[in-house]
Amino acid sequence: MQAFSALIDGLIYTRSRDHKVRLIADYLRNTPDPDRGWALAALAGTLSIATVKAAAIRAMAEERFDPMLFRMSRDYVGDTAETVALMWPEVSADAVAPTVSEVIDLLNSTSRARAPIVLAGLMDRLDANGRYALLKLATGGMRVGISARLAKTAFGQAFDLSVDDVEEVWHALRPPYAELFAWGEGKSDRPDPADSAFFRPFMLAHPLEDGIVDLDAYAAEWKWDGIRIQIASTGGETRLFSRGGDEVTAAFPEIAAAFNGIGVVDGELLVRGDVQGGEAASFNALQQRLGRKNVTAAMQAEYPVFVRLYDILFDGAEDLRSLTWTARRERLERFAAQLDPLRFDLSAIIAARDFNHLAEMRAAAREAEIEGVMLKRRDSPYLAGRKVGLWYKWKREPLVADCVMMYAQRGSGKRSSFYSDYTFGCWTPDGALLPVGKAYSGFSDAELKWLDRFVRDNTVARFGPVREVEKSLVLEVAFDAVHESKRHKSGIAMRFPRISRLRRDKPADEADTIAALRAMIG
Amino acid sequence: MWIDPSRPAERALVTHGHADHARSGHGAVWATPETLAIMALRYGTEMGTPMPYGDGFEANGVKISFHPAGHVLGSAQILLEHAGERVVVTGDYKRRFDPTCAPFEAVACDVLITEATFGLPVFTHPPIEDEIAKLLAARAAHQEGCILIGAYALGKAQRVIAELRRAGYDAPIYIHGAMQKMCDLYAAHDVALGELILATGLAKAEMKGAIVIAPPSALNDRWAQRLPDPITAMASGWMRVRQRARQRNVELPLVISDHADWTELTDTLLELRPSETWITHGRTDALGRWCELHQLKARALDLVGREEEEEG
């Protein structure tokens, strides 16, 4: 555990990406199996310990510490795990620190009810840095500024392999990745997962900032506002994966059941409805189906889902990814013909005469509640990740409204001492402010400092970590859409709100009204 | 008569030389000889009445005396005695060994007015030997560059230097120009700091493998660009919390503090068991809560002019 906690702290304090990769690579080379495999899983976000939830950490803390002292400490530190790690009594000199695999084995073999006791026993054997690493490991949220991609890059660097080769088999393997390390050390061939249905990395798009593309070279499709989904089927087994490669089959069993092809396809999961060009419901409707481990028949009937297909990666066992988009599109059309049209259809190609015509169609898309346009180079192969010049997303312009800051809350992580989460409101006809949303992004570090100072200097009331402020600061808020919501007293809520500008020049009573926002609903 | 007044006062008792306690412009000042020397260095020719540890005088029927606080060179607690009642103002203090100043003395009292800079149970300062070992290991692993340590010019810088010497590090230590006079003052008070070299104006190559000490404000400043590939370290009690270190772009946090940590604060209260405790700057709410849990009578004093998280 010491080597692992030293790695975690090294990653926290190191700013250079290359240096982070080197730290991880050194660790992976010099640590025995299976510790390094568990550590790699923790960094890549594939480690999940079912018995330990964040609530277990809080329960453990409440057992040991005075709740008020704990709350004050948590409020200052900004991170529950770190607070508990720091408050925990110092380790006795004769304690023997556990290994990473001992931690995993102990936690995996206990029950959820007993987990806090097991965890406390492990805490007693570690110093403050070790306790921090333990709690981060147990809850799965490392937050050390490492993406899954960077963890795989580090693995590649440790064993002199290309990250794309690692990526290709990664999702077919499970922690602690013994086969992967055996391959890395040259003790075995590359793992061959051909007979299982597993995730292949998505091809992603860059935003089209302000350029023009030639529609002879690029095909245009509508950008549908659902969730990106990959369906992989070997015939015997069909599995669904979301953007990050998480399996979501159980949430959408009707899709897996209806898929009668063999291969791997890429598409957008949508709820049937009459928004989005009259063809699909809003993202809000889809949200009712997300994040569920199991789904009732009633949910399936109320929010019927379907997949709009974009691309095909495998037809049977044949890998089509090196073909051009045009050739894959043709194969996709043939492949889709065998599928149930109720559950699967094709994302249509937009028939625009030229780029200007496309721009006009995109401008009209807000009326039809379509998120924007995708542009795909006709000769592009299907490549993992975001590659310059191949695919673009061209979202419609965000909506903006001038709102008044009402409450602020301290952020967590990097922003733990800053008031960085803002609730803002708009005016009712009788001159009251009602909250319409909450945002914690869009501003620069310098603006954050200013906002934090504003909150501290203009606090009128405190409710635990929340401060109510003088209603004097106008924030220009950008958002993608606004919809009806029971969450806010105003009856409306924004999608993807972010602070676009601080309007220190604007008097608060000139901010927008609830009615003006309501008029922007679809 | 005021203690550590934040505005010029006719008569001031000063606990120690840090700027938020020792302001300039007072009429008459009483402080330890070391604190007076520090004030003279900072503010020019200020005069005052030297009060060596243990000495005292009487004013308006109150006996006033100065006792070691263990915070920095010359730092003192102030004991006020009147009609059999004893009030101690700790000023800033710590109870750990520090080769650069006299150790804290527990002074029995009825009312204790205590600081609470690190008054949260998350603050446990690790043994300084561990932090110095961490620093020396980082230096050994980074011979091609240097280690740049941010440390307050009064107290922290000299303590880090003295602790490095105690750990057997006898190479020259490079210092920022803003620290030179204070280091000279410490040396004149018999605090051995070994060979110190002014880092300003040296070529990069000369400082390879070196340890360089500068005020925290110089860490992310242009001044640091003249150093060979520095690893940025910071010696402060705040470094205990990871995000505090990250917010300051610190790569090598050294948890070294001249203030009492949570255990020292609470142990001191248990040792002295004052019938009343007043808590001044710092985390007054948490220490107040702890007193409540331990049936000690306490109240928070809100003082103006004390910046949160300035020194540490």
Find the closest chain B residue to A13 by CA distance: B251
Phi, psi of B100 (to 5 degrees): -100, 0
A388 and A424 belong to one structural domain: no
**Is residue A347 a contact partner of residue A308, using CB atoms and an 8 Å limit?**
yes
- How wide is the angle at C-alpha B298 spanned by C-alphas B293 and B302, nearest 5°? 125
Cα Rg of chain B (Å, integer): 20
A77 CB within 8 Å of a chain B CB? yes
A324 and A358 belong to one structural domain: yes
Chain B interface residues facing chain A, Cβ-Cβ under 8 Å?
A: 120-124, 126, 240-247, 249-253, 283, 285-286, 289-290, 293
Report yes or no on B295 lying in a domain.
yes
A412 and A442 belong to one structural domain: yes
> How close A214 gets to chain B, by Cα (Å)?
45
Answer whether B120 sits within 8 Å of A90, measured CB to CB: no
User: Of B121, B126, B245, which is closest to A69 when you measure between CB atoms?
Assistant: B121
Report yes or no on B306 lying in a domain.
no
Report yes or no on B87 lying in a domain.
yes
Report yes or no on A180 lying in a domain.
no
Answer whether B247 sits within 8 Å of A417, measured CB to CB: yes
A69 CB within 8 Å of a chain B CB? yes
B263 and B117 belong to one structural domain: yes
Q: What is the C-alpha separation between A294 and B94, in angstroms, rounded?
A: 57
Q: Where are the alpha helices (DSSP H) in A439-480?
A: 445-457
B184 and B140 belong to one structural domain: yes
Answer whether A73 sits within 8 Å of B286, measured CB to CB: yes
Task: Output the domain CATH number for residue A228.
Answer: 3.30.470.30
Q: Which amino acid is at B115?
A: E
Task: Output the domain CATH number for residue A456.
Answer: 2.40.50.140
**Is residue A398 a contact partner of residue A478, using CB atoms and an 8 Å limit?**
yes
Residue whose structure tokens are 């928004």: A275
In this predicted structure, what is the pLDDT of residue B310? 47
Answer whether B293 sits within 8 Å of A416, measured CB to CB: no
| Of A139, A171, A195, the domain-final residue | A139
User: For testing the chain B interface, which of A11, A12, A62, A69 should be mutated: the one with the most B CBs within 10 Å?
Assistant: A69
- pLDDT tens-digit profile, chain A (522 residues): 999 999 999 999 988 888 899 999 999 999 999 999 999 999 998 898 888 888 889 888 888 999 999 999 998 998 899 999 999 999 988 999 999 999 999 999 999 999 999 999 999 999 999 999 999 999 887 778 788 889 999 999 999 999 988 988 998 899 999 999 999 999 999 998 777 899 998 999 988 877 788 999 999 999 998 899 999 999 889 999 998 788 899 899 999 999 999 999 999 999 998 888 778 887 778 878 877 777 899 999 999 999 999 999 999 999 999 999 999 999 999 999 999 999 999 999 999 999 999 988 888 876 677 878 999 999 999 998 888 889 999 887 788 999 999 999 988 777 777 899 999 999 998 888 999 999 998 888 889 999 999 998 888 887 777 899 989 999 999 998 888 887 778 889 888 899 988 888 788 888 999 998 988 886
| Of A139, A168, A192, the domain-final residue | A139
Which chain A residues contact residue B253 at CB under 8 A? 13
B62 and B160 belong to one structural domain: no
Which chain B residues contact residue A65 at CB under 8 A? 121
Answer whether B241 sits within 8 Å of A69, measured CB to CB: no
Q: Which two tokens stand for residue B217?
A: 């404000």
**Is residue A254 a contact partner of residue A217, using CB atoms and an 8 Å limit?**
no
Which chain B residues contact residue A72 at CB under 8 A? 120, 283, 285-286, 289
Handedness of CA A506, A508, A510, A511 (dihedral sign): positive
Task: Output the domain CATH number for residue B203.
Answer: 3.40.50.12650
Which chain B residues contact residue A417 at CB under 8 A? 243-244, 247
Answer whether B286 sits within 8 Å of A87, measured CB to CB: no
A409 and A495 belong to one structural domain: yes
User: Of B243, B253, B286, which is closest to A69 when you measure between CB atoms?
Assistant: B286
A362 and A248 belong to one structural domain: yes
Q: What is the C-alpha separation between B21 and B307, in angstroms, rounded?
A: 11
pLDDT tens track for B86-112: 999 999 999 999 999 999 999 999 999
The domain tally of chain B equals 2
Report yes or no on B311 lying in a domain.
no
Report yes or no on A466 lying in a domain.
yes
C-alpha closest to that of B99 among B190, B30, B16: B190
A427 and A388 belong to one structural domain: no
In this predicted structure, what is the pLDDT of residue B295? 94
A87 CB within 8 Å of a chain B CB? yes
B209 and B270 belong to one structural domain: no
Answer whether B122 sits within 8 Å of A73, measured CB to CB: yes
A418 and A380 belong to one structural domain: no
User: Of A76, A132, A413, which is closest to B120 when you measure between CB atoms?
Assistant: A76
Find the domain containing A79 and state its range: 2-139
B245 and B137 belong to one structural domain: yes
A73 CB within 8 Å of a chain B CB? yes
Task: Output the domain CATH number for residue A43.
Answer: 1.10.3260.10
**Is residue A419 a contact partner of residue A455, using CB atoms and an 8 Å limit?**
yes
Q: How many CB pairs under 8 A join A and B?
A: 64
> How close A193 gets to chain B, by Cα (Å)?
41
In this predicted structure, what is the pLDDT of residue A316? 94
B181 and B219 belong to one structural domain: yes
> How close A372 gets to chain B, by Cα (Å)?
37
Which chain B residues contact residue A9 at CB under 8 A? 242
Phi, psi of B4 (to 5 degrees): 45, 50
Q: What is the C-alpha separation between A396 and A375, in angstroms, rounded?
A: 13
Find the domain containing B36 and state its range: 2-122+259-300
Q: Which amino acid is at A3?
A: A
B267 and B235 belong to one structural domain: no
Q: Which amino acid is at A134?
A: L
Task: Output the domain CATH number for residue B62.
Answer: 3.60.15.10
A354 and A210 belong to one structural domain: yes
C-alpha closest to that of A123 among A80, A60, A47: A60
Report yes or no on A234 lying in a domain.
yes
Q: Which two tokens stand for residue A337?
A: 């013909």
A441 and A513 belong to one structural domain: yes
Longest dimension (CA), chain A: 77
Report yes or no on A156 lying in a domain.
no
B204 and B276 belong to one structural domain: no
User: Of B126, B243, B286, which is closest to A72 when you measure between CB atoms?
Assistant: B286
In this predicted structure, what is the pLDDT of residue B312? 55
Q: What is the C-alpha separation between B107 and B57, in angstroms, rounded?
A: 17
DSSP state for residue B178 in the 8-state scheme = G
Report yes or no on A157 lying in a domain.
no
A317 and A406 belong to one structural domain: no
Answer whether B251 sits within 8 Å of A15, measured CB to CB: yes
The domain tally of chain A equals 3
B141 and B116 belong to one structural domain: no
Q: Which two tokens stand for residue A37?
A: 């495999």
Answer whether B122 sits within 8 Å of A86, measured CB to CB: yes
A67 and A129 belong to one structural domain: yes
Q: Which amino acid is at A125?
A: R
Find the closest chain A residue to B238 by CA distance: A77
Q: Which amino acid is at B239?
A: M
User: Of A69, A79, A83, which is closest to B290 when you measure between CB atoms?
Assistant: A69
B177 and B87 belong to one structural domain: no
Mean pLDDT of chain B: 93
A65 CB within 8 Å of a chain B CB? yes
Three-class SS state of A138: helix
Percent of chain B topping pLDDT 70: 96
C-alpha closest to that of A66 among B295, B290, B265, B240: B290
Q: What is the C-alpha separation between B39 and B47, in angstroms, rounded?
A: 9
Report yes or no on A104 lying in a domain.
yes
pLDDT at position B303 over 70: no
A132 and A248 belong to one structural domain: no
B39 and B59 belong to one structural domain: yes
Report yes or no on B312 lying in a domain.
no
In this predicted structure, what is the pLDDT of residue B307? 45
Report yes or no on A148 lying in a domain.
no
**Is residue A153 a contact partner of residue A146, using CB atoms and an 8 Å limit?**
no
Find residue B211's DSSP bridge partners.
B147
Find residue B85's DSSP bridge partners.
B82
B141 and B250 belong to one structural domain: yes
Report yes or no on A190 lying in a domain.
no
Report yes or no on B308 lying in a domain.
no
A15 CB within 8 Å of a chain B CB? yes
User: Of B246, B247, B289, which is closest to A69 when you measure between CB atoms?
Assistant: B289
| Of A124, A139, A154, the domain-final residue | A139
> How close B285 gets to chain A, by Cα (Å)?
8
Question: Complex ipTM, two decimals?
Answer: 0.93
Helix (H) or strand (E) holding B76: strand B76-82
User: Of A13, A66, A76, which is closest to B293 when you measure between CB atoms?
Assistant: A66
Report yes or no on B92 lying in a domain.
yes
Q: What is the C-alpha separation between B290 and B160, in angstroms, rounded?
A: 31
> How close A138 gets to chain B, by Cα (Å)?
19
pLDDT at position B304 over 70: no
Report yes or no on B155 lying in a domain.
yes
Answer whether B121 sits within 8 Å of A65, measured CB to CB: yes
Dihedral angle, C-alpha A38, A41, A46, A47, nearest 10 °: 30
Three-class SS state of A421: strand
DSSP assignments along A319-371, one per residue: E-TTS-HHHHHHHHHHHHTTS-TTTEEEPPBP--SSHHHHHHHHHGGGTTT--
Answer whether A86 sits within 8 Å of B240, measured CB to CB: yes
User: Of B124, B253, B285, which is closest to A72 when you measure between CB atoms?
Assistant: B285
Helix (H) or strand (E) holding A268: strand A263-275
